[in-house]
Amino acid sequence: MVETWYNGIVTKIINETPNTRRFWIQVPELQAFDFKPGQFVTLDLPIHEKKNKRWRSYSIASHPNGNNEIELVIVLLEGGAGTTYLFNEITEGSTLILRGPLGLFTLPPEMDRDLFLICTGTGIAPYRSMVKFLHENNIAHPPIHLVFGTRYEHDLLYAEEMRTLQNGMHNFTYHPTLSRDTNPNWWGHRGYVHDVYEQLLSDKRPAHFFLCGWKNMIDEAKQRIIAMGYDRKDIHLELYG
């Protein structure tokens, strides 16, 4: 299969948190950029001679809506060649070479049990795509729990949007949890994502688990979910970093 690379034009950039930016990329060659919620694109960045050292993959944070523009949300990694290039060299109007959509981290064909969408950091991106797609298209779905872990409140991505969705969307609950924030007015959970889903699933009801974020979170979640009595087949992964 021949891989198709496209020229994407960066149409908008917004600083979402102190170290995270949202990039909107339009693909003029396509009338519509068709993808399934949860898929990703790979960027070819001019940061190395070897192509496999130039490639960086990011989940699509927007939902499919029939146009040719997608949104990526990217965190600046200290010492990371790819994100340093994106943050320092890319401005509105820049061109990015990309291919996609790619990946199988998508909604299960049989949505016959609760969905637990567990993430840290920019791992919220594919879940935002999934949840907004279900909501905008009025698709029936089981109860969905988005469990989002980060250190401080200012690191929360799409927080207002998720709270608005929770208020206006049937069977969707947003569970942000902060591991280091000491703000006494914080309204969400404290600690790590694992405590949250374990409490929610004390009844051991059937569930699909989606894990997206840093490797250490995913490794621990896999162990805990299996220890709770769930099958490995119930767990879907997307690894970052």
* Of 61, 79, 102, the domain-final residue: 102
pLDDT in tens, 178-236: 999 988 888 889 999 999 999 999 999 999 999 999 899 999 999 999 999 999 999 99
pTM: 0.95
pLDDT in tens, 12-49: 999 999 899 999 999 999 999 999 999 999 999 999 99
Q: 14-18: long-range contacts (C-beta < 8 A, 24 or more apart)?
A: 16/73, 16/157, 16/158, 17/154, 17/155, 17/156, 17/157, 18/154, 18/155
* Per-residue pLDDT at 3: 78
CA dist., res. 85 & res. 63, Å (int): 26
**Residue 182 Cα to chain centre, angstroms:** 26
- Same structural domain, 139 and 209: yes
Separation in Å, CA 25 to CA 10, 19, 123, 149? 4, 19, 19, 27
Q: Using one digit for the tens of pLDDT, what is the confidence trace for 111-154?
A: 999 999 999 999 999 999 999 999 999 999 999 999 999 999 99
CA distance 101 to 117: 21
Number of structural domains in the chain: 2
Interval 156-171: pLDDT, tens = 999 999 999 999 999 9
Please indicate, yes or no, whether residues 81 and 131 belong to a single structural domain of this protein.
no
**Domain span holding position 35:** 6-102
Whether 130 and 60 map to the same domain: the answer is: no
Kindly calculate the radius of gyration of the chain based on its CA atoms and give it in whole angstroms.
Answer: 18
CA angle 218, 183, 129 (to 5 degrees): 40
Residue 240's pLDDT band (cuts 50, 70, 90): low
Which pLDDT value is given to residue 1? 56
- CA-to-CA distance for 41 and 35, rounded, in angstroms? 10
Pair (175, 202) in one structural domain: yes
What CATH number did the domain enclosing 58 receive? 2.40.30.10
Same structural domain, 163 and 186: yes
For residues 12 and 86, state if they share a domain: yes
Q: Does 40 reside within a domain?
A: yes
Spatial CB neighbours of 119, under 8 Å, sequence gap ≥ 6: 127, 146, 147, 148, 149, 193, 211, 212, 213
| CATH number of domain containing 133 | 3.40.50.80
Residues 89 and 139 in one domain: no
Asked if residue 232 and residue 141 are part of one domain, the reply reads: yes
| Cα separations in angstroms, 212 against 20, 58, 128, 147 | 17, 12, 12, 11
Same domain, 21 and 93: yes
Same domain (yes/no): 97, 124? no
Q: In this structure, is residue 109 part of a structural domain? A: no
**Does 214 lie in the same domain as 126?**
yes
Residue 51 lies in a domain: yes
Q: In angstroms, rounded to a whole number, what is the distance separating the alpha carbons of residues 118 and 238?
A: 11
N- to C-terminal Cα separation, the chain:
27
CA 74/CA 190 separation, integer angstroms: 24
Q: Are residues 57 and 118 in the same domain?
A: no
In a domain, 107, yes or no: no
Query: 3-state class of 212 per DSSP?
Result: strand
Tell me how far apart the alpha carbons of residues 18 and 123 are, in angstroms, rounded to a whole number. Answer: 17
